[in-house]
Amino acid sequence: MARPMPLAFTDAEYARRLRDLRARMRAASLDALLVVVAENITYLSGYETIGYSNFGVLAVRLDAEPLLFIREMERTVAETTTWLRDFETFADDQDPLEQAVAVLRKRGWLDGRVGVELGDSFVSPSAMDRFRRLLGQPGDGTGLVEAGRAIKSAEEIALIRQACRITEAGASAALEAIRPGVTENLVSSAAYAAMMGAGSDFFAGDPIVTSGWRSGVAHLTFGNRRLESGDTILLELSGCRRRYFGPLMRGAVVAPVRAEARRMADVIIAALESAIAAIRPGVTSGAVDAACREPIERAGFEPNFRKRTGYSVGIGYAPSWGEGHIVSLRRDDPTRLEPGMVFHMPPALRVPRQYGLGFSETVLVTPTGCEVLTDHPRRLYVAGA
């Protein structure tokens, strides 16, 4: 019987991920690993759902096929999107933590040395503490899945490329919508419509659009402000294919262009290009960060930067498309880059509550250097010139 929805990856790809994880489990002397991080469950099984904030556990043992324990309402989507065959569920009137432990204990899957992931934004610290007590204080299995996620396979890179094409469509539509009198919301909606029309799956974050004084405030987004002549506009967005992302940041100005905005754009682009030129296998994350900082500090913009240069991207669920907890390009970080790592590199400069700009690329580490996966003009866009 044909599957109603194709798996995101081949059977061989999922088998490789599971095989590699089991090798890391053996190295950590674990007989079983309880995976609770939503992105990690997706990575190992293909599980795609808008219900990812519900409690779930993927139990991986060395001697049995994985078991996915989820809310009963999630069974059909799990059967539809994953390669798994073994499911157990809990009802909405049951305690999911107690039920999970009862299922695992009945199967004998808590025998031997068991590890559990400790970090998941959708499992509260108090719930995780209780889960560990119910399990009998298992070992810490945090990071074992992420060790595999850091290096993207050819199949993963293909999806990131698709996401980049979608992102580029959104960026072009957003930039074309910029003109005096339109709202940030209209610019954002143009990006949103273009990405959805280009085939994006559901986002991990809405397009970021800030203008004028708002562009000088990090982590604001569209707020119904109307664009005015001379405004700087900062755009950041990413389309999605099967939970994989390819982010892009671009800067724009509504004519006329002030000298300080032009200078800021030139410095950011120089910093981005310096960082990209530094990327190759064996180089440390800190060295790439230093390459980015040098043009910024030389131009006197260091107080307006003070952030990391980039972060790993791949699988994401709202509220974030980033994998910065796996690898970040940041000051003095000793992590050495390896082929297959993919980074979003978004240097941005902001004069607080006055103006700001940013430019970024999604970049793949190759065996001989790097490849910029996003393909969009890297220049200050001027509307109304």
**pLDDT, tens digit (0-9, with 9 covering 90-100), for 153-212:** 999 999 999 999 999 999 999 999 999 999 999 999 999 999 999 999 999 999 999 999
One-character DSSP codes across 109-153: TTSS-EEE----TTS-HHHHHHHHHHHTS-EE-TTTTHHHHTS--
The number of beta carbons lying within 10 Å of the beta carbon of residue 71 is: 18
Q: Is this structure's pTM higher than 0.85?
A: yes
> With the C-alpha atoms ordered 305, 191, 277, 331, is the resulting torsion angle positive or negative?
positive
**pLDDT, tens digit (0-9, with 9 covering 90-100), for 334-376:** 999 999 999 999 999 999 999 999 999 999 999 999 999 999 9
- Which residue, 75, 6, 64, 2, is CA-closest to 33? 64
| pLDDT exceeds 60 at position 32 | yes
pLDDT of residue 172: 98
**pLDDT, tens digit (0-9, with 9 covering 90-100), for 369-381:** 999 999 999 999 9
Is it true that the peptide bond before 125 is cis, omega within 30 degrees of 0?
no
| pLDDT exceeds 60 at position 1 | no
pLDDT of residue 223: 96
Record the tokens describing residue 265, joined without a space: 């754009």
**pLDDT, tens digit (0-9, with 9 covering 90-100), for 37-47:** 999 999 999 99
| pLDDT exceeds 90 at position 2 | no
pLDDT of residue 271: 98
pLDDT category, 385, cuts 50, 70, 90? low
Q: How many CA atoms lie within 13 A of 296 on its CB side?
A: 26
The percent of residues above 90 in pLDDT, for the chain, comes to 96
Average pLDDT of the segment spanning 5-30: 97
- Beta-carbon contacts of residue 347 (< 8 Å; ≥ 6 apart): 268, 271, 272, 275, 292, 296, 305, 309, 358, 359, 360
